[in-house]
């Protein structure tokens, strides 16, 4: 029986976090069905993607990150069943980089497969702009996505968001019959994409507990503009840890997303660009012999869109009101946690004790 190496390369913002949460949360249950997630931890796959894409600043990163590729390949070589490596940043790899990594997987005696989750470009474009804000970007939506980068380091760019661009690079490495494209059906329940994904990698989706999984939620238009302005004052928050823990999780996901807020669209010329990219992707899928697992119509921007605001309509008053509510919630959190630390006998020092900071990172803000 042929052993397979599945590489799930994204696209970003196409239920990748949702699927990865299921897979890593139920890693043992998945392995019992013959599918291994190689490596010691979930971040190993992120770190491998950095090696593959030859990130220039990797030399300054921790030793455990440098060893991730060796750990993953060692596990792949030792496993007797199929393996799955999953991270959306692989979508940015060049054809040469993709070929080099595919060769390393093939050297373990496996048949290489690529899985691409995808969605209609308009929703993807809007979600990716929000994701760029969670990574400390200050770029207004009107200026976002105006080019196609040639650099494998640029993630929040049409380089990784345009399905046809990604497929053109990877189909030069992996043949169409082993390239599986899974469009998202935005009208279906969220487990529908998990069931199709599980079918591709050959496991029974009903034998895996998905109750601990969660999707990435979006901010409203006011909250997104607030975060964009705050980012301009976060000059010291440069590390991946700072972006991931404090900007993305603590502020964006736990304080801004939870406010709800109005959904929004990009500008008319950007909508037209998204519509054209969706049509090009569907045409490419019709031309190339890929394994399409789903309806290609799900990749098209609807002809008629509901009315929504654009970010330029957000007033300073709306931003100030949202900021006041968020600051009040943060102040309450800090007061409660400092009191809790004091009751626990923590030694008072300037700032918060590390144990309290850890609790603070995981605390949800009060509801609106």
**What pLDDT is recorded for position 65?**
86
Q: What is the pLDDT along the chain (368 residues), one digit of tens a residue?
A: 789 999 999 999 999 999 999 999 999 999 999 999 999 999 999 999 999 999 887 666 777 888 999 999 999 999 999 999 999 999 999 999 999 999 999 999 999 999 999 999 999 999 999 999 999 999 999 999 999 999 999 999 999 999 999 999 999 999 999 999 999 998 999 899 999 999 999 999 999 999 887 767 889 999 999 999 999 999 889 888 899 999 999 999 999 999 999 999 999 999 999 999 999 999 999 999 899 999 999 999 999 999 999 999 999 999 999 999 999 999 998 899 888 888 887 555 555 555 555 555 555 444 33
Do 342 and 348 touch, CB atoms closer than 8 A? yes
Determine the pLDDT at residue 37: 98
Per the DSSP assignment, residues forming a β-bridge with 183 are 118
> Which domains are assigned to the chain?
4-216+267-299 (3.40.50.300), 221-262+315-362 (no CATH)
The Cα 99–Cα 105 span in angstroms is: 10
CB neighbour list of residue 12: distance below 8 Å, 6 or more residues apart: 88, 89, 91, 128, 131, 155, 156, 160, 161
Phi, psi of 27 (to 5 degrees): -60, -40
Cα 24 to Cα 67: distance, rounded to the nearest angstrom:
20
Instruction: Read off the tokens for 62.
Output: 């921790």
pLDDT of residue 359: 53
């Amino acid at each position: 029986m042929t052993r397979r190496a599945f590489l799930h390369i994204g696209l970003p913002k196409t239920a990748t976090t949702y699927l990865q949460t299921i897979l890593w949360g139920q890693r043992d249950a998945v392995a019992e069905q013959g599918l291994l997630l190689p490596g010691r931890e979930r971040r190993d796959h992120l770190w491998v993607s950095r090696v593959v894409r030859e990130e220039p600043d990797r030399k300054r990163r921790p030793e455990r990150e440098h060893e991730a590729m060796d750990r993953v390949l060692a596990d792949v070589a030792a496993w007797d069943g199929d393996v799955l490596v999953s991270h959306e940043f692989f979508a940015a790899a060049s054809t040469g980089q993709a070929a080099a990594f595919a060769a390393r997987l093939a050297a373990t005696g496996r048949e290489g497969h690529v899985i691409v989750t995808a969605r209609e470009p308009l929703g993807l474009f809007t979600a990716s702009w929000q994701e760029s804000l969670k990574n400390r970007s200050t770029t207004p939506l009107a200026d976002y996505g105006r080019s196609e980068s040639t650099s494998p380091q640029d993630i929040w760019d049409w380089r990784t968001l345009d399905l046809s661009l990604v497929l053109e690079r990877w189909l030069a490495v992996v043949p169409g019959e082993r390239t599986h494209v899974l469009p998202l059906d935005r009208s279906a329940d969220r487990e529908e994409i998990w069931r199709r994904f599980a079918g591709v990698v050959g496991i029974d989706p009903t034998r895996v507990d998905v109750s601990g999984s969660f999707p990435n939620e979006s901010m409203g238009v006011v909250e997104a503009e607030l975060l964009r302005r705050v980012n301009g004052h976060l000059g010291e928050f440069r590390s991946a840890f700072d972006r991931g823990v404090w900007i993305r999780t603590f502020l964006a996901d736990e304080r801004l997303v939870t406010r709800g807020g109005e959904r929004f669209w990009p500008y008319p010329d950007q909508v037209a660009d998204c519509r054209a990219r969706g049509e090009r992707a569907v045409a490419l899928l019709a031309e190339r012999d890929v394994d399409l697992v789903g309806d290609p119509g799900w990749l098209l921007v609807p002809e008629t869109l509901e009315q929504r605001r654009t970010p330029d309509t957000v007033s300073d008053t709306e931003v100030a009101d949202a900021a006041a509510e968020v600051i009040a919630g943060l102040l309450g959190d800090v007061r409660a946690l400092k009191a809790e630390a004091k009751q626990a006998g923590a030694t008072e020092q300037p700032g918060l004790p590390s144990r309290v900071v850890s609790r603070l990172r995981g605390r949800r803000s009060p509801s609106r």
